[in-house]
Structure 1
Amino acid sequence: MDVRAWDDPLLVSVLKGQNVKGERHHRGKREVLHEPVVVVEARVQKLKEENKFRELSRYLRAVRSDNKVQLRSMKDHVPFYLCKAGDYFGAMNCFFASSSQTCCVACRLSPAHFVMYMKTLVTGRMPAGSDPILSTQWEAAKDSNLPKKSDVIKCALRIMNWNITVFMDQYPRQALLLLVTQALIDRITYRRMMTFLSVVMAFKENAWALRWLYNGLGPETLHVFMSVLLDDLYSERNTHFTRKFELSDEQYIGDFLCYHIQDPRPMTYGTKRYVFDVLHKNWHERDYLWQYYLRMILQQCSHELEPETHRFLDAIKRRNY
Structure 2
Amino acid sequence: MEPEEGDESVIVISDTEGENDGETSVFIVENSPEVADTSKEKSTEVIDEECGLAITYSKKGNVMPHARYDCVEQDFMRTENEISEPVGNNLNFCEQCYCYICDKPASECQYWKLPSICHCNAHNKSKYWKAHRDVALTGALSIFNFNLVDIDSELRHGGALLQKFWLELALEYNKYLMGIITTRNCLIPCMCICHKQFKMYCEMCQMNHVEIRLYSYTPVFNMVNNFLNQAEKEKSKAAGIMMMGVAKEIILHKQPPQEVFNKDDQTSSPRQAVPIFMHRITNSLQRMLVLSDLPPYLFNKLKAFYKTLTLPSCCFAFTNSLNVLSWEDPFLTSILRGQNITGHRQKKGRKEMLWEDFPVVQARVERMEAREEYRELVRYLRVIKCNDTVKLRGLQDKVPFYFCKYGDFHSAAQSFHVNSSLSCCTACRLTSYQYMVYLKILKTGTVPAGCELSDEGRWTFVKGTGTIKNCLLLKCALRILFVNQVLYRDAHSWSRLIQIHCNSFTLGEDVLPVPPPVFVKSTAVLAASILEDLKKGIVGLPKTFSSVLHRESALILVTVAAAQMLHKNLSVMNIVLPLIVAYGKNFWALKLLFDSLSVKEEVLHHFCAMLSNNIYVYKSMLIDAFKCHDADYVSDLVTLFLSFKQATIQSVSIPVLNVLVEAWHEFKTKECLWTQTLHSFLQNKVIPAMEMLNTAQFIELRNKINRLF
Identify the TM-score tier after normalising by the shorter chain: 0.5 to 0.7
Amino acid at match of 1:155: C
Amino acid at match of 1:149: N
1:53 matched to 2:374? The reply is: yes
Deviation at 1:186, TM superposition (A): 9.3
Deviation at 1:184, TM superposition (A): 2.7
- The equivalent of 1:256 in structure 2 is none
Deviation at 1:5, TM superposition (A): 1.2
- The equivalent of 2:479 in structure 1 is 158
- The equivalent of 1:122 in structure 2 is 443
- The equivalent of 1:75 in structure 2 is 396
Deviation at 1:137, TM superposition (A): 2.1
Aligned-partner SS, 1:30: strand
Write the deviation string for residues 135-165 of structure 1: whole angstroms up to 9, x where unpaired: 2322222333211111001100000000011
The structure with the larger Rg is: 2
- The equivalent of 1:66 in structure 2 is 387
Aligned-partner SS, 1:59: helix
Distance in 1 between the 2:461 and 2:351 partners?
42
- Which residues of 2 match residues 277-296 of structure 1 at below 5 A? none
Distance in 2 between the 1:19 and 1:47 partners?
18
Deviation at 1:27, TM superposition (A): 2.9
Amino acid at match of 2:391: Q
Write the deviation string for residues 38-77 of structure 1: whole angstroms up to 9, x where unpaired: 1111111111111110110110111010111111110011
- The equivalent of 1:89 in structure 2 is 410
- Which residues of 2 match residues 81-230 of structure 1 at below 5 A? 81-97=402-418, 103-133=424-454, 135-169=456-490, 170=492, 172-181=494-503, 184=512
- The equivalent of 2:344 in structure 1 is 23
Deviation at 1:166, TM superposition (A): 1.3
Segments ≥4 residues shifted beyond 6 Å: none
Deviation at 1:23, TM superposition (A): 0.7
Distance in 1 between the 2:467 and 2:496 partners?
18
8 A Cα contact 1:128 1:138, kept in partner: yes
Deviation at 1:131, TM superposition (A): 3.1
8 A Cα contact 1:128 1:135, kept in partner: no
8 A Cα contact 2:449 2:459, kept in partner: yes
Distance in 2 between the 1:96 and 1:137 partners?
28
Change (3 A) 1:108 1:122: same
Distance in 1 between the 2:371 and 2:446 partners?
20
Q: Which runs of 5+ in 1 are unaligned?
A: 192-204, 207-244, 250-321
| Of 354, 360, 363, the match for 1:33 | 354
Change (3 A) 1:26 1:174: same
8 A Cα contact 1:60 1:78, kept in partner: yes
Q: TM-score with structure 2 length normalisation?
A: 0.26
Distance in 1 between the 2:446 and 2:501 partners?
21
8 A Cα contact 1:89 1:147, kept in partner: yes
Write the deviation string for residues 63-107 of structure 1: whole angstroms up to 9, x where unpaired: 010111111110011110110011111111110016xxx820000
Write the deviation string for residues 159-209 of structure 1: whole angstroms up to 9, x where unpaired: 00000111222453123334444993796x969xxxxxxxxxxxxx98xxx
8 A Cα contact 2:436 2:496, kept in partner: yes
- The equivalent of 1:9 in structure 2 is 330
Deviation at 1:19, TM superposition (A): 1.7
Distance in 2 between the 1:185 and 1:10 partners?
57
Distance in 2 between the 1:185 and 1:148 partners?
20
Distance in 2 between the 1:171 and 1:74 partners?
23
Moved more, 68-77 or 11-20: 11-20
Write the deviation string for residues 3-41 of structure 1: whole angstroms up to 9, x where unpaired: 111122221121111222211113311111000111111
Deviation at 1:128, TM superposition (A): 2.4
- The equivalent of 1:212 in structure 2 is none
Distance in 2 between the 1:55 and 1:11 partners?
10
Q: Which runs of 5+ in 2 are unaligned?
A: 1-321, 505-510, 516-546, 550-580, 583-625, 630-709
- Which residues of 2 match residues 227-266 of structure 1 at below 5 A? none
8 A Cα contact 2:404 2:412, kept in partner: yes
Distance in 2 between the 1:53 and 1:161 partners?
29
Distance in 2 between the 1:185 and 1:18 partners?
50
8 A Cα contact 1:124 1:140, kept in partner: yes
Amino acid at match of 1:103: C
Distance in 1 between the 2:439 and 2:332 partners?
32
Which is helix-richer, 1 or 2?
1
CA RMSD of aligned residues (A): 3.3
Distance in 2 between the 1:20 and 1:112 partners?
32
Distance in 1 between the 2:493 and 2:389 partners?
32
Deviation at 1:133, TM superposition (A): 2.3
Q: TM-score with structure 1 length normalisation?
A: 0.55
8 A Cα contact 1:129 1:135, kept in partner: no
Amino acid at match of 2:338: G
Aligned-partner SS, 1:103: coil
8 A Cα contact 1:127 1:137, kept in partner: yes
Write the deviation string for residues 195-233 of structure 1: whole angstroms up to 9, x where unpaired: xxxxxxxxxx98xxxxxxxxxxxxxxxxxxxxxxxxxxx
Aligned-partner SS, 1:80: helix
Distance in 2 between the 1:71 and 1:111 partners?
21
Aligned-partner SS, 1:184: coil
Amino acid at match of 1:53: Y
- The equivalent of 1:43 in structure 2 is 364
8 A Cα contact 2:443 2:500, kept in partner: no
- The equivalent of 2:170 in structure 1 is none
8 A Cα contact 1:84 1:142, kept in partner: no
Aligned-partner SS, 1:172: helix
Distance in 2 between the 1:141 and 1:32 partners?
33
Distance in 1 between the 2:327 and 2:367 partners?
11
- The equivalent of 2:651 in structure 1 is none
Distance in 2 between the 1:45 and 1:27 partners?
33
Aligned-partner SS, 1:159: helix
Aligned-partner SS, 2:346: strand
Change (3 A) 1:171 1:68: closer
Change (3 A) 1:13 1:172: same
